[in-house]
Structure 1
Amino acid sequence: MIVCCIVVTTGVADLQLNDYPPLGQWAIASPASLNVHEQKLADAVAYAIASENPASKDQAIVQATTFGAREPMIRSLARWACARQLTA
């Protein structure tokens, strides 16, 4: 049973590694060559940009400035994290 799980997991990992092209070698295609309506694509991109979350992409900052700012243990956790980094 364990051997089967390992084989299946390895197979999935191999598929995931081969799903993407090497870095910097992404295929480039025009919307027309993919049968995509160019104006609808442009509208979707504009909507995505306009609807982007204004929060920081750094989750440590987001958590510290939202619910973490009200958490009473945040100072203790921050001290612990700093001490841990200094000893690592």
Structure 2
Amino acid sequence: MQIDISKGIKVGGHTYKVKSGERINERLKEGNYYGRCYYKEKEVLIDDSQEHGQVSNSIIHEVVHAIDNEFDTKLSESQVKRLSNGLH
């Protein structure tokens, strides 16, 4: 099953754009990240050079960060990892 995220992902009434590409991959690798969520910009950046399973897991992980931010739940990184792995 494929999910279309080309128009973004809705989180708490906000649309987060999902971006990837060669320049983004390089930027993320410099920081040793698979993905990053930028709350103010409402953007999720994903290193799409990873294998498909890791890309989808990274998207879910960053969306959990977005949910955490929008609803001020103050999850730890460990909690975000467990939730995203459980959802994946």
How would you bin the TM-score normalised by the shorter chain? Answer: under 0.3
Choose 1 or 2 for highest CA Rg: 1
User: Which has the bigger relative contact order, CA under 8 A and spacing at least 6?
Assistant: 2
TM-score, normalised with respect to structure 2: 0.24
Which has more strand, going by share of residues? 2
Which has more helix, going by share of residues? 1
